[in-house]
Amino acid sequence: MNYLNKQYKKDGKFKIKHNYLNEQFADTKDYFKLIKDVVSTNDFTLGSYVSKFENKFKKKINAKYAVGVGSGTDALKLSLEALDIKLGDEVILPTFTFYASLNPIIAVGAKPVFIDSKFDFNIDEKKIVEKINKNTKAIMPVHWAGKICNMSVIKKIAKKYNLKIVEDACHAYLSKYKGKFAGNFGHTGCFSLHPLKNVNVWGDGGVITTNEKKIYDRLILLRNHGLKNRNELEIFGHNSRLDTIQAAIGYKMLDKLDNLTKIRRRNAKMYDEGLKVIKQISIPIRDKNIIQNFQLYSFLCQDRDKLIGYLNRFGIDAKIHYPKPMHLQKPCVKNNYHKGKFENAIKIAKNIISLPVHEYISKKDVKFVIKKINNFYN
Ligand SMILES: *Cc1c(COP(=O)(O)O)cnc(C)c1O
């Protein structure tokens, strides 16, 4: 059942890849030094690197508080719990997202209510209000590929109907909207440290940001069993602490983020220029209010599956993120969460493609990919 090993082996064979973890962590020795630090002091559980990492993480995006947790998925789950989302409540989210946005809603006993997307792959904010009823308690916008959702409108809706906002910012570290970083628009902002995300560690990890002390205090309890001290529970909680060794990796890795993001933006811009002239391709609108981190570089295209096969043959790891929206997934259909109109999401799933846009992809590589796409359509 572990399909990941096989997948990573296959992906590693491409010439132009989505991920270059070897190159990114070529300074392995420096990381081992930090790990040695942790081991030699036995500083394993909520060790000092956890708060060091949290401080660095939050400062880079001007958030007041950051809480390191076990994964991006846990970041979402603990956020929902901290905001008192529970059995019988409804949470609004886009159907076009990664599975991890959905599962935390189920985990707290709430009901997911799906919304269609726009062709920039984000939730269609104009379709939110019609789904709000007395059980609706929260909205979970997902900043797809690091493009921040229309938070001006979403915040207005949340205020009017007294809803919480949990930002799924797992794609969006260092993305900005109207001058503000992702992770500062919701009651909480949730990030993943998975090796395939922009800010990553050597296993699993996640971070929750918030600007409210009360929420922060609850999250600190929730990630550590709900314990207020060694012997007393304050609330029910979890074991979802960010591992200290992973925090040490993240602490050092964060220093690379500015440059990494800069090069991703450069590559994306080159793709935009090279591909927008191809009539079979539709690049999402680039909103001038948004500075995107390009966690992914995605667009819609004709003959998508053939194009992917073609690019793969030239050693280019073109991929689909993701071919099946949530409302069509088996457990959602089984539980009757699939009803509604999701025309755009279905079209996106059928026509979306992502190209490698990593910092280790050179200008020459980008030009090569553009050339091959041109050849394919001509
Ligand atoms: C990766 C991801 C998550 C969850 O991250 P994990 O750390 O793998 O649990 C949540 N939402 C989105 C949109 C993601 O891409």
The domain ranges of the chain are: 4-23+256-377, 27-255
What phi and psi, each to the nearest 5 degrees, are found at residue 113?
Answer: -120, 110
pLDDT tens track for 282-331: 999 999 999 999 999 999 999 999 999 999 999 999 999 999 999 999 99
Atom of ligand 1 nearest to the CA of 205: 7
Of the pLDDT bands very low, low, confident and very high (cuts 50, 70, 90), residue 136 is: very high
pLDDT tens track for 266-281: 999 999 999 999 999 9
- Write down the pLDDT at residue 4: 86
Of the pLDDT bands very low, low, confident and very high (cuts 50, 70, 90), residue 233 is: very high
Per-residue CA distances from 43 to 34, 191, 229 (Å): 11, 24, 18
- Write down the pLDDT at residue 333: 97
CATH for 4-23+256-377 is 3.90.1150.10
Report whether residue 101 contacts ligand 1, using a CB cutoff of 6 Å: yes
- Write down the pLDDT at residue 324: 97
Average pLDDT of 167-175?
98
Report whether residue 140 contacts ligand 1, using a CB cutoff of 6 Å: no
CA 198 to ligand 1 centroid distance, Å: 11
Report whether residue 100 contacts ligand 1, using a CB cutoff of 6 Å: yes
Could you tell me the sign of the dihedral formed by the alpha carbons of 37, 39, 43, 45, in that order?
positive
Considering only residues 355 and 11, tell me which one the structure prediction assigns the higher pLDDT.
355
Report whether residue 147 contacts ligand 1, using a CB cutoff of 6 Å: no
Q: Whose CA is nearest to atom 14 of ligand 1?
A: 170
- Write down the pLDDT at residue 369: 98
pLDDT at residue 209 is higher than 80: yes
| Domain 27-255 architecture | 3-Layer(aba) Sandwich (3.40)
Residue to mutate (ligand 1; options 170, 191, 354; most atoms within 8 A of CB): 170
- Write down the pLDDT at residue 91: 98
pLDDT tens track for 30-55: 999 999 999 999 999 999 999 999 99
Report whether residue 73 contacts ligand 1, using a CB cutoff of 6 Å: yes
CA 275 to ligand 1 centroid distance, Å: 28
How deeply is 206 buried, as exposed, middle or buried, from its count of CB atoms within 10 A (0-12, 13-18, 19+)? buried
Residue to mutate (ligand 1; options 73, 117, 201, 243; most atoms within 8 A of CB): 73
- Write down the pLDDT at residue 1: 77
Q: Whose CA is nearest to atom 13 of ligand 1?
A: 98
Report whether residue 267 contacts ligand 1, using a CB cutoff of 6 Å: no
Q: What percent of the chain has pLDDT over 90?
A: 96
- Write down the pLDDT at residue 6: 87
Of the pLDDT bands very low, low, confident and very high (cuts 50, 70, 90), residue 8 is: confident
Report whether residue 166 contacts ligand 1, using a CB cutoff of 6 Å: no
Query: Which residues, 6 or more positions from 234, have their beta carbon under 8 angstroms from its beta carbon?
Result: 221, 226, 227, 228
Fold match between 4-23+256-377 and 27-255? no
Average pLDDT of 359-375?
98
Report whether residue 69 contacts ligand 1, using a CB cutoff of 6 Å: no
Residue to mutate (ligand 1; options 147, 168, 295; most atoms within 8 A of CB): 168
